[in-house]
């Protein structure tokens, strides 16, 4: 499993001639790293003297978001390997040859493999959007000495979201069911629209804090 490899081993596998792990897997890893940086800020914030002076409801929100991000990282870590399996299903669908198989059945099998390959990056983009929303409380109330860490976390999560949507789009190009593709296209358009607004708002807040405002 790629999630169990060292950083050096994972990089070496990515840069090799193997088709997996590819962009989808890397986006999942980057999302987890963005979340981890946010938890770093959280751990430098919760229960510190300044934190106890915040309103009780804000303290509870931060603690709740901390737990949500921690759970999200566990889910996203699974996607690092799931993406590779999804792409492998496409390769297998093309390589499996049975002379007795009806051509229509083979085409359907290939179509289904693209749907499977599309699902992991789509799920990753969904997780990214959720995480961007959770990160706002840490930008607003996190330890000011770690504002750059949560700031980098926001940038990483958004970059991973954009990368995941690219992976979704390439798989959509091979799916013939227009009803299905139009539904997914509408979802990714909404994800991009909402996430870009959140990312812009959060990075502006980070910049203001860095300027001392």
The tokens of 151 are what? 């700031």
Q: What is the pLDDT of residue 89?
A: 80
- Asked whether residue 3 is assigned to any structural domain, the reply reads no
> Measured between alpha carbons, how far is 134 from 142 in angstroms, rounded to an integer?
12
Task: Return the biggest CA–CA distance within the chain.
Answer: 73
Residues 6+ apart with CB under 8 A from 180: 115
Its domain, for residue 170, covers 20-210
Q: What is the pLDDT of residues 16-74, one digit of tens each?
A: 988 888 899 999 999 999 999 999 999 999 999 999 999 999 999 999 999 999 999 99
- Asked whether residue 14 is assigned to any structural domain, the reply reads no
- Asked whether residue 184 is assigned to any structural domain, the reply reads yes
- Asked whether residue 96 is assigned to any structural domain, the reply reads yes
Domain count, the chain: 1
- Asked whether residue 2 is assigned to any structural domain, the reply reads no
> Measured between alpha carbons, how far is 142 from 129 in angstroms, rounded to an integer?
20
Q: What is the pLDDT of residues 99-130, one digit of tens each?
A: 666 777 778 888 888 899 999 999 999 999 99
The CATH number covering residue 200 comes to: 1.20.120.680
Q: Is the peptide bond before 21 cis (omega within 30 degrees of 0)?
A: yes
> Measured between alpha carbons, how far is 156 from 136 in angstroms, rounded to an integer?
14
- Predicted model pTM: 0.92
- Asked whether residue 1 is assigned to any structural domain, the reply reads no
Q: What is the pLDDT of residues 178-207, one digit of tens each?
A: 999 999 999 999 999 999 999 999 999 999
């Amino acid at each position: 499993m790629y999630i169990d490899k060292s950083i050096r081993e994972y990089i070496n596998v990515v840069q090799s001639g193997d088709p997996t792990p590819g962009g989808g897997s890397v986006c999942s890893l980057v999302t987890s790293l963005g979340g981890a940086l946010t938890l770093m800020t959280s751990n430098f914030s919760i229960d510190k003297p300044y934190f106890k002076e915040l309103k009780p409801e804000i303290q509870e929100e931060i603690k709740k978001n901390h737990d949500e991000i921690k759970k999200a990282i566990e889910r996203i870590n699974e996607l690092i390997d799931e993406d590779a399996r999804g792409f492998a299903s496409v390769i297998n669908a093309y390589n499996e040859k049975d002379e007795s198989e009806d051509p229509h059945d083979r085409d359907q099998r290939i179509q289904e493999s693209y749907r499977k390959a599309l699902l992991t990056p789509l799920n990753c983009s969904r997780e990214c959007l959720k995480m961007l929303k959770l990160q706002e409380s840490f930008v607003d109330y996190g330890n000011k000495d770690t504002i750059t860490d949560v700031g980098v976390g926001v940038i990483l999560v958004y970059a991973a979201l954009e990368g995941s949507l690219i992976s979704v789009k390439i798989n959509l190009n091979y799916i013939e069911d227009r009803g299905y593709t139009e539904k997914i296209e509408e979802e990714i358009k909404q994800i991009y629209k909402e996430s870009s607004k959140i990312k812009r708002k959060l990075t502006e807040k980070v910049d203001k804090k860095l300027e001392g405002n």
